[in-house]
Structure 1
Amino acid sequence: MRRPPLPRRASRRARGTRTGGIAAAAVLLCGAAAWGGCAGTRVLAEDGASRAGPVEAAAALVASVPDARARHLVRSISDPHRTAWHFVPAPRTGLSIGAMSATQRRSLETLVRSGLSDSGWQRAQAVIAHELVLRELELAAGRADARARRDPALYFATVYGPPQRDSAWGWRFEGHHLSVNATAIGNAPPIVAPLFMGANPARVPSGPQAGKRLFAAEEDLARALLLDLTPAQRAAATLADTTFGEIVTRNDPAVGPLPPRGVPASELSPGQRQRLRALIELYAGRAAPAVAREPLARLERAGFANLRFAWAGSAEPGKRHYYRIHGPTLLIEYDNSQSGANHVHTVWRDLENDFGRDLLRSHYARHVHDR
């Protein structure tokens, strides 16, 4: 399959789908805190939107958007743009959070939280807020476009619908270093894949947040597993002495099983297997428990022993490194190669059900749809 190129630059058109720009982001993030941290915008337990299912939240969001903006927000479930995901600051389909009212953002929060766990939701907010850290670093380095380019308002929602209780539908929430792609039938737990999160800088070098690492656990658990391997196991796990400069699958719309390289889980000791399982559960834990249950069950049915752990680059902290966990149903990739090994990309891919591929195939086999 030919790999589509990663887009590189945001356009004026993409920026034009928001209003209020930086001011809206300030309200949204309340000084880089979190969406829910703003007075008057927190989704409280007694709020009707927080009790609604994802179908109702998506329908409320769609209904609240004027026709002139609806074309940015709503697309068909069969639209080819649904699988055209990416994670760089570039033009995007959808409606930006900077263009949304507080009520619309509450509906969006309910929708996104239907796919993410509490910790996954907090991590997504941290990724968005991290744009302000990157902005300050780039402004200090003299990058003139940093203020406009690194904007937390430039995260976009798209609904692929229509969202109905018995219909196949989906949504995406995406911006720089964040792409959450969900596909569902009605209000059933969605398939959330691909799920991408990243951070630049990986470790904040200076300023009030100096030393902060958004993906510390993902790095430290994997390195602990690598260092726990025997010399023979480590030789089997090593893909290369250098990294590949990016996650290998980039933003490919479909990913199949990778070559069977790496140390097999079947050759790990019980303690090493436990480290591997903890690392997988860390990534799976970004999704809501009801969402993570199904892919983890498929992983077990396919055989945990059939998983492989692979590493490239240095084992030394602060040096370029890459790892992946892959098996018949699952691919996890982590890369820290760019910006002097201070720029992390991570992704969870479902080799059977990215963008709900098997879910939709099964649904359409049982129902006649006007697609």
Structure 2
Amino acid sequence: MTCLANNFLSTLSSSQQSGIVYSLTSSNATTYWSNLPTTFVTRHGLALSALSSTQKTAAEALLNAALTSQGQSTMSGLRAADEYLKDNGGGSDYGEDLYYISFLGSPSTSSAWILEFTGHHYTYFFSVDASANAVSLTPNFVGVEPVSYTDSGSTLTPMASEHDGLKAMLDGLSSSELASAKMSTSVSDLVVAPQKDGNFPTTRSGILVSSLSSAKQALVKAAIAAYASDANGTGQYDAYVTDSALADTYIAWSNYSDLSTKGSYVRIDGPRVWIEFSVQSGVVFSANHYHSIWRDKTYDYGGNFSF
């Protein structure tokens, strides 16, 4: 990652380089990303749309290296959905290259730094700290509108794996388990959303994963994998699914458990892993769209900040 980062930086002019590397501070990390279009909330760095073909090739190689093939599919699918929005009523607020790349700290093999890639419905922070042997891909926000669409004769559902994994997890519960997992309060959107770092509830809700059968625990693991297995080499998924981790992991839902009705909400809350999925009203289209986030309570932003 460091080699690819420096290779990308070498393709930039001096003025471009000065506008893409920022200090590794909490403010720089937390303030300049959102689930809103980049025309609504300022992003740091350079937009892919502003890069030459050579620069963009180097940037894409770096971005893809942080991800597994599953993760690359997630990223490309959500960016393509933004391109569809641009071409079908959304206009210039959207687009597959209206995503920004920046660095917090200079890429190094000896000190901490973060690659931030952020736009409308996709953001990740790939954090590297060689001295602490810490690597992470969180926070990682994913969202999509429309949920399903047809392009060039093909039907595309960019967040099918995330949605289907969580739905299978809830569908696998018995009626009594589903009742135990239901939250007593209504949740209308993501709780630990962009700009809400550290907003994890002090009181845990739902049903303990360790109380479920091995088959049902496997469904929880699969739901976690739909997110954490996007990361290339961070080890986060493995940490989330140990017996000790699952013994302190809860699954919970609010409003509706079908994950298709507007207002449906589900979360996975472990000692480190935090995943939320919310069904929202459409913005450009009348149909619903999804907001979802994967966080790591220990290693968000590489564990460099306290919230």
Which TM-score bucket, shorter chain as reference? 0.7 to 0.9
Q: Deviations over 1:138-187 (max 9, x none)?
A: 2xxxxxxx321122221000012211221211110111101110111359
User: Which residue number in structure 2 is paired with residue 75 of structure 1?
Assistant: 22
Cα deviation, residue 302, structure 1: 4.2
Give secondary structure in 1 for the equivalent of 2:156. Answer: coil
User: Which residue number in structure 2 is paired with residue 367 of structure 1?
Assistant: none
Give secondary structure in 2 for the equivalent of 1:260. Answer: coil
8 Å Cα contact 2:239-2:245 kept in structure 1: no
* Structure that is richer in helix per residue: 1
User: Which residue number in structure 2 is paired with residue 49 of structure 1?
Assistant: none
Distance in structure 1 (CA, Å) of the matches to 2:153 and 2:258: 23
Number of residue equivalences: 296
Stretch moving more, 329-338 or 209-218: 209-218
Uncovered stretches (5+) of structure 2, i.e. residues with no partner: none
Kindly indicate whether residue 239 of structure 2 is the aligned counterpart of residue 297 of structure 1.
yes
Distance in structure 2 (CA, Å) of the matches to 1:79 and 1:309: 29
8 Å Cα contact 1:179-1:195 kept in structure 2: yes
Pairs within 5 Å for 1:87-236: 87-89=35-37, 90-138=41-89, 146-186=90-130, 190-204=135-149, 208=152, 211-236=155-180
8 Å Cα contact 2:82-2:96 kept in structure 1: yes
Distance 1:301 1:233, change over 3 A: closer
Distance in structure 1 (CA, Å) of the matches to 2:105 and 2:65: 16
**Aligned mate of 1:348, from 281, 294, 303:** 294
Normalising by structure 1, we get a TM-score of: 0.73
Pairs within 5 Å for 1:248-287: 248-251=191-194, 252-256=196-200, 258-287=202-231
Distance 1:210 1:354, change over 3 A: same
Distance in structure 2 (CA, Å) of the matches to 1:59 and 1:202: 36
Normalising by structure 2, we get a TM-score of: 0.87
Distance 1:104 1:198, change over 3 A: same
Distance in structure 1 (CA, Å) of the matches to 2:91 and 2:175: 48
Distance in structure 2 (CA, Å) of the matches to 1:257 and 1:192: 22
Give secondary structure in 1 for the equivalent of 2:197. Answer: coil
- Which amino acid in structure 2 is aligned with residue 109 of structure 1? E
Uncovered stretches (5+) of structure 1, i.e. residues with no partner: 1-53, 139-145, 362-371
Distance in structure 1 (CA, Å) of the matches to 2:130 and 2:7: 15
Cα deviation, residue 124, structure 1: 0.4
Q: Deviations over 1:82-116 (max 9, x none)?
A: 22232210321110101112222222223222321
8 Å Cα contact 1:195-1:349 kept in structure 2: yes
Distance 1:225 1:151, change over 3 A: closer
- Which amino acid in structure 2 is aligned with residue 120 of structure 1? G
Stretch moving more, 254-263 or 129-138: 254-263
Cα deviation, residue 70, structure 1: 2.4
Distance 1:303 1:190, change over 3 A: closer
User: Which residue number in structure 1 is paired with residue 280 of structure 2?
Assistant: 337
Distance in structure 1 (CA, Å) of the matches to 2:273 and 2:151: 38
User: Which residue number in structure 1 is paired with residue 7 of structure 2?
Assistant: 60
User: Which residue number in structure 2 is paired with residue 8 of structure 1?
Assistant: none
Stretch moving more, 295-304 or 111-120: 295-304
> What stretches of structure 1 move > 4 A for 4+ residues in a row?
186-189, 206-211
Give secondary structure in 1 for the equivalent of 2:242. Answer: helix
Distance in structure 1 (CA, Å) of the matches to 2:26 and 2:271: 28
User: Which residue number in structure 2 is paired with residue 19 of structure 1?
Assistant: none
Distance in structure 2 (CA, Å) of the matches to 1:240 and 1:342: 24
Distance in structure 1 (CA, Å) of the matches to 2:7 and 2:138: 24
Distance in structure 2 (CA, Å) of the matches to 1:163 and 1:114: 14
Distance in structure 1 (CA, Å) of the matches to 2:255 and 2:68: 31
Stretch moving more, 87-96 or 64-73: 64-73
User: Which residue number in structure 2 is paired with residue 45 of structure 1?
Assistant: none
User: Which residue number in structure 2 is paired with residue 7 of structure 1?
Assistant: none
